[in-house]
Structure 1
């Protein structure tokens, strides 16, 4: 029999806390969401200044300006250090969270609004997107998160919204440029209604025309009326806008999409699959969707309904920890705290987090597509994936667990989840490292 607190630590967190304490019911998990730390400082000005510097330095290098090479090296070093610090902050938050449910939800919503860090600019802007567009809203209303995510510079850049002009707009005529439907399509297919929802290509195009004024600059998000398609647009039978282009109709459309029944079911289904497993029971999805709509797109209503269902507490562990989860759980089990993670040298973070994630199939902030990381266990548990996990377990044991007794580590990492077979294998291991590796490579540690 697995105690509810142990089950919750694995299914809804990053494993047991070092002191072993943690909530074992829906009320405790929901209460833990109110215990999150202070909001991250808005460092947009710092990031954009570095981005602007980097662009200027690269331009000088192309023009062979004296001293440009040295300037580029200095800026590239600052850029790499900031990126590694961003990853340290992310890992330290997962490792140091008292319960971890809040961090798991942050990761879920980061993935729901996937942005692939495909170039240097997006790598610089993506952490700002996570801390300023997603994190503040995980316990609020989805409509507010949708607004923030859809208008953030990183999303606009990633989905080429900066290249979208109203076909009949003044700027479009002057520059000979037209519509880009990427943002409109992804909002409808992935962020709100779902790919199987009942909308047509005409809805995508009209919505794309409605979004044409969205842009950004050094100050952040901006609405550019001269780029916007003039006149009203009709999306899902609802008319938005009129003679004067402004932001209000765009926000109204986003709010309506957030409150659409298809969106409610789409979000509910994704949450159930992520935390409990597939297939998501239709009755649970329906109950969650109804609670969400009744509470004006409240995300807490979604979480509460899911957690109060007995299937959320079933002892079967149907999910597989993704590589980042695996590394965070190992650090947590080893007794590391947030300060220790932040104190690690950049090279250690690159070697033991970023490189290991990539080897296990999860290139940091680079999922294969805009629909995010795969949820099915079969994607992660493959011959190649298993070999990479075993190598990681060996490396982590050798580098970070040398002083740990394997049996004590087994108890801190798995507690009552450890099977009698695993306990016997760890106790009989030929070496300390072999015993520690067995724990990290075990099905119990890799499944949630």
Structure 2
């Protein structure tokens, strides 16, 4: 694969069928830093998290009322034809619209390299619509916590992520109460248990910053969870004391566990919100965090077998620049391991974007986008765990998964194949990298539609 094809596919999201490859690939990548739009019109038009919190509260209140009414009438409050309770269906519509907006932004962006990085970080800091409370907020989470901080520092993105309503709800932080906090103490006096939730603390340490087996233990997780108590969101709780000033992040002192915390050998005597903030600041600058982030970036861009030398350079840059993200991106742009490394097998998300861009499709209705990625095995914003979707070929290259891609390729070819010369398109997309067998298969195709389907399902299209 020549450098233009690498720039388009490994750094970017795939070539455009109506545009020639960049004549100066590195300069083309560099130009995207200025071209990147944190909030293009299609993203800016989506429902924001403040309104979504209100919708979620209304849905919860509505559902409680329906259950009470059904219980009084002796009927079943659950819908017969849908696993999602009726009050939450407007939030599903918000999700579908946001999924379509994500696709459209990727297909029309003048900065596909930066869009790839949006998807990388959104998966690193993953939330999932598997949890109903995150259903409507998944898009707003990416649009509000990831996109605006793409060209900032890692610590800034980390702070935005951990304070966002989508993350607070997904990992149950909004329900975490310090046992010896004012509210926790009053509850205990009445014989009620109001407990500590460790989910957010554990995932920050294990997934978002340090990585697994990097020197912390269960006691550190518990102490960090205590420091995080009070980090919640207003506008949703039933209790007036926890409703807060409005539908957004706020620090609720009434549920914060008092006292000094010791985490990984360091004492944190700060009071209130500042305590967990101090821990986050240290984690954002920790050498283990630098190595964890460097390894994931190297794996994503340079291949499943991580080049140690590239990891070392990324790690050093992370530490010397205090987590400056553009500096890390430029290390990748200059890395011979990326320009000459082994091609990555495309995930279903990557392959779908590449196929749509190749065929000139500029947008996809949200319902179609969500359905297509569901069929391909990587539904949008729906990983099975907070670890996000895997970034290894073995997770995506199974025979059944490839058959599903062929089916989608055929549908795309039926939609747009009549006016596309697959032979010319192959030359634009894979200059210097098209195998004789793929070229021959396209040449022998009985129709333009069949030729395009063969190209979209070809081995070259499956890798970047």
Whether these two folds match at TM > 0.5 is: yes
How many angstroms apart in 1 are the aligned matches of 2:218 and 2:153?
Answer: 28
1:25 offset after TM fit, Å? 4.5
Give the structure 2 partner of residue 50 of structure 1. 55
Q: Please, which of 301, 321, 324 is the counterpart of residue 275 of structure 1?
A: 301
- Cα distance in 1 for partners of 2:399, 2:176 equals 43
Aligned mate of 1:329, from 320, 336, 354: 354
Q: 2:161 aligns with which of 122, 128, 149?
A: 149
Residue in structure 1 matching 2:414, options 398, 416, 421: 398
Identify the residue that residue 320 of structure 1 maps to in structure 2. 345
Question: Who is 2:311 aligned against?
Answer: 285
Q: 1:445 to 1:221 in 2, by over 3 A?
A: same
Aligned to 2:150: 138
After superposing on structure 2, the runs of 4+ consecutive aligned residues of structure 1 that deviate more than 4 Å are 23-27, 72-78
Give the corresponding residue for 1:354.
Answer: 370
Aligned pair in 2 of structure 1 residues 246, 404: CA closer, same or farther (>3 Å)?
same
Over the aligned positions, Cα root-mean-square deviation in angstroms equals: 2.5
Deviates more, 1:5-14 or 1:43-52: 43-52
Q: Give secondary structure in 1 for the equivalent of 2:12.
A: coil
1:6-405 equivalence runs, <5 A: 6-17=5-16, 18-22=18-22, 24-37=24-37, 39=39, 40-41=43-44, 43-64=48-69, 78-175=90-187, 176-218=193-235, 219-242=247-270, 245-314=271-340, 316-317=342-343, 319-337=344-362, 341=363, 346=365, 349-351=366-368, 353-405=369-421
> How far does residue 307 in structure 1 lie from its aligned partner after superposition?
2.0
Aligned-pair CA distance for 1:174? 2.4
Distance 1:23 1:268 in 2: 29
The answer to whether the 8 A contact 1:330-1:413 is kept is: no
Taking the aligned partners of 2:198 and 2:93, their CA distance within structure 1 comes to 35
- Tell me: CA distance 1:97–1:153, structure 2 relative to 1, closer, same or farther (3 Å): same
Q: Is the 8 A contact 1:23 1:29 kept in 2?
A: no
Which stretches in structure 2 are left out of the alignment for 5+ residues? 71-76, 79-83, 188-192, 236-246
Q: CA 1:240 to 1:27, structure 2 compared with 1: closer, same or farther past 3 Å?
A: farther
Question: How far did 1:431 drift?
Answer: 2.7
Q: Equivalents in 1 of 2:56, 2:378: separation in Å?
A: 26
Determine the C-alpha separation between the residues in 2 that align with 1:309 and 1:188.
Answer: 28
1:363 shift after superposition: 2.2
Contact 2:14 2:357 in 1 (8 A): yes
> Cα deviation per residue 1:343-383 (whole Å; 9 max; x = unaligned)?
x5x4xx424x2222122211221112211111111111111
CA contact (8 A) 2:303 2:342 kept: no
The answer as to 2:433 corresponding to 1:434 is no
Question: How far does the alpha carbon of each residue in 1:171-201 deviate from its partner, in whole angstroms, 9 at most, with x for none?
Answer: 2222321221111111001100010211122
In structure 1, list runs of 5 or more residues that go unmatched.
none
In the alignment of these two chains, the number of paired residues is 433
Tell me by how many angstroms 1:27 deviates.
5.0
Task: Give the secondary-structure state (helix, strand or coil) at the position aligned to 1:416.
Answer: coil
* C-alpha distance in structure 2 between counterparts of 1:180 and 1:26, whole Å: 46
Distance in 1, matches of 2:86 and 2:295, equals 47
Say which is worse superposed, 165-174 or 102-111, in terms of deviation: 165-174
Q: CA shift at 1:62, angstroms?
A: 3.6
Q: Give the match's secondary structure for 2:179.
A: coil
With 258-267 and 399-408 compared, the bigger mean Cα shift is at 399-408
Paired with 1:179 and 1:57, the residues of 2 have a C-alpha distance of: 28
* Cα drift, residue 325 of structure 1: 1.6
Query: Which deviates more from structure 2 when the two are superposed, residues 32-41 or residues 156-165?
Result: 32-41
User: Is the CA contact (8 Å cut-off) linking 1:333 and 1:412 kept in structure 2?
Assistant: no
